[in-house]
Amino acid sequence: MVTRERILITVRTYPVISQKYIETVCTGGITGKGEWRRLYPIPLRYLEPERQYKTFDVVDVEVKPGKDTRPESRVPVIASLRIISSLKGWAERRDWVEKTSFASLDEMVSAGKSLAPVRVREVLEFIADPVAAQWTPAQLEKLKQGNLFDERRPLEKIPFDFRFRWIDDAGKEYNSHVMAWEFGETWRGYRDRYPDPISVMRDKWMNDLCSPKRDRLFFMGNQNRFRDQFSICGIFGPPKGKESDGTLW
């Protein structure tokens, strides 16, 4: 059954190579009713410019159930997707996001959720482990496969596995992989600007975006194949005690 929903986009992962869809971006957001949605598949870089949503855009889109049985998952009807507005201030964003949050990852899982914000007590460490800088031959072959699009766009592999070591509001510590689009894009932007881009990234997140001066939430999501494994799909960090224009990146 196809339904139409208005969704605040809060999560965009860095593109991944897909066997079936060439590449996809896992997208998450909150409906006007306060329900979380995981929209997949979306080949975001290949959409028309007017459909290429950003974090904190509000979109109107038709969705339908798919094979993914996680409660938040829906298949979007791409041709129906429209960007309605964009939330610029933190107050509006808080109204949508904070009422859906959990004090701990355990509490979120116990509630039967596979995608939701978890409150962060402390971020202990920013980790950037080097990984292979090039796609494997099998991945390159997937990128060469034919698809619906006329022109293949190069997809750069990020040569780091980004992670946070952190403590949730219940006091439990985690070492979580970060999949957020912003991490890959920040590294690509800093790579040519700084001699040590990882050091600059670490300082930016530890001393600003994930520092105690912000009310921190991690958008936690699991994998369809490995549902007991949760990653940080996005970060919500409004400043404490004041409002701003909402710019994070």
Query: Please, are residues 22 and 43 in contact by the beta-carbon 8 Å criterion?
Result: yes
Whole-number pLDDT of residue 140: 76
Residue 242 confidence class, pLDDT cut points 50, 70, 90: low
- Which of 204, 209, 183 has its CA nearest to residue 129? 183
Whole-number pLDDT of residue 241: 76
Query: Please, are residues 231 and 176 in contact by the beta-carbon 8 Å criterion?
Result: yes
Instruction: Please give the C-alpha separations between residue 176 and each of 79, 99, 112, 126, 192, in angstroms, as whole numbers.
Output: 34, 23, 20, 10, 27
List, in order, residues 6 or more apart from 171 with CB less than 8 Å away: 121
DSSP for residue 156: P
Residue range 217-230: average pLDDT?
93
Domains of the chain: 3-86 (2.40.50.140), 100-236 (no CATH)
pLDDT in tens, 13-31: 998 877 677 678 899 999 9
Helix, coil or strand: residue 56: coil
Q: Is the pLDDT of residue 246 over 60?
A: no
Q: Is the pLDDT of residue 138 over 90?
A: no
pLDDT in tens, 41-90: 998 988 999 999 999 999 999 999 999 999 999 999 999 999 999 999 99
Neighbours of 137 (CB within 10 A): 7
Query: Please, are residues 232 and 127 in contact by the beta-carbon 8 Å criterion?
Result: no
Whole-number pLDDT of residue 56: 97
- Give the containing element (helix H, strand E) for 73: strand 73-86
Whole-number pLDDT of residue 249: 44
Report the distance separating Cα 13 and Cα 180, nearest Å.
4
